[in-house]
Structures are given as structure tokens and as C-alpha cells.
Amino acid sequence: MSRYWRASASLLAAGAAVALAASLTGCGALGELGTAGHYPAATSFTIGSRVTTVIIDGGSGSVDVTGGKRSTVGVTQQASYSKTPPAARHTLSGTTLTLSYSCPAELSCGVSYTVAVPRAVAVRVSADTGSITLTSLAGAVSAQTSAGLITAADLRSAAVSLTANAGGIIATCSAAPRSLHASTKLGPITLTVPGAVAYRISTHTLVGTSTITVRRSATSPYAITTSSDVGSISISPA
């Protein structure tokens, strides 16, 4: 077996290990291990003060952020845990809202977030395990997950950065981004961008193919950078 394919096998094995670890932190693993899970009713609140940036420091659980024609930030959070509930926090520092939580050491503990924001708000999301969904945002966007799928739709942001260690990235931009970065270690990347402009594109793959059907220009002010160690890359016009 060549070094090339040994490296590929190692990356796939690592990805499988991450996926297994992620599954063990989820709700389904609780029943399999004979431990009762707790899923209290979701809690919701609204931030009426002016917010220009939302930071979500997640752990285990999904994150869904949607922009719209609104002036407030609405948050719904759903906890799940095996023994002791997580301690959820939200802080407003100036115009920056931060959502986070902490968990005791136990089999399963996490919070899933559903957040509605003004469309122009900047959004930064990080998670250990769980999917991240971003919809109809126009402010700067950054999302990072260790294990999970990142899905972005109807983005009008000038700056977008999406990173997944184990998990794919699917993003659709309704306006041409000035800077779009998407990278995975294990998982495919599918980007759809407006076809009216040309893009300065950089792609990198170790195991996988790159398919680029948008117009390219080395001097374009619109830059797309993609990287996937194991996974295909597709960049196509809307």
C-alpha cells in the first residue's frame, strides 16, 4: 500500500472516530448505554437592546441562526443532559451578545440554539459537535465545528469563513462575497455564488476532486479559498 493511500486511510479512520465520539455525546447514545436522558422544555428570551454582533460559543448541540427584518434578537435554547443540567449564560457587552454554557463532567450535556437576528448583524459560531445552519445573513459570518455539517443559505455577507474538521460545508451566497473561506479535514465542500462576477479562486485537496464552473480572474476583488483534506470541492454559479 502506498504512502498516499495509507494517509487516506488514516484520515478516514480519524474521521470515523470523530463521528463515533459525536454520536456518543448525542441523545441516542444515552438509551444504548442504559442511562435516562433529560430534555426539559426549551426556554426563550428577547434582547431588546441594540446588538451588532452575536457570538455563540456552543459545545454539543445544533445551532440555527436566521436573519430577518427585525430590530431585536430572539433566542430559544434547548438543553439536554444525562444527570445535571448545563448552566446557560448570555451576556451583552456594548453591542456584542454572547451565548454560552458550561457542563459538569457527565455522559451527555449540551444546548441547542435557535436564534433570530437583524439581517445585518455579524455572527460568529463555534461548536464541538452538532450542525450549524445560517440563513439570510448580511453581516460578517464565521462558523466553526469539530464534527458536524455547516449549511448556509441566502448569504449576503461580504466576509464568510466556514470551517469543519469532520463534516461537510454547503453554502449559497445571494450576493458575491468579497472573501469566502471554506475548509474541512474530512468532508465535501459545495459552494454556490452569483455568476455575474469573476472570482479569484484557490483550492486544495489531498483526496478528492475540484469542480469549478464559475468565471475566474487573478485580479478579481472577490476571493474564494477552499481546502479539503478528504472530500470533493464544487464551486458553481447560481
Q: What is the DSSP string of 4-41?
A: HHHHHHHHHHHHHHHHHHHHHHSHHHHHHTT---B-PP
Residue 109's contacts (CB-CB under 8 Å, 6 or more residues apart) are: 59, 60, 80, 81, 82, 84, 85, 86, 103
* Nearest partner of 165 among 22, 37, 41, judged by Cα: 22
* Nearest partner of 112 among 60, 153, 150, judged by Cα: 60
Are 136 and 119 in contact, with CB atoms under 8 Å apart?
yes
Could you read off the pLDDT tens digit of each residue along the chain, which spans 238 residues?
A: 443 333 343 344 344 434 433 443 333 333 333 345 888 999 999 999 999 999 999 999 999 999 999 999 999 999 999 999 999 999 999 999 999 999 988 778 999 999 999 999 999 999 999 999 999 999 999 999 999 999 999 999 999 999 999 999 999 999 999 999 999 999 999 999 999 999 999 999 999 999 999 999 999 999 999 999 999 999 999 9
Domains and their CATH numbers in the chain: 3-237 (2.160.20)
The pTM of this model reads 0.85
Q: What's residue 219's pLDDT?
A: 98
Place of cell 485580479: 219
Q: Which H or E run includes 195?
A: none
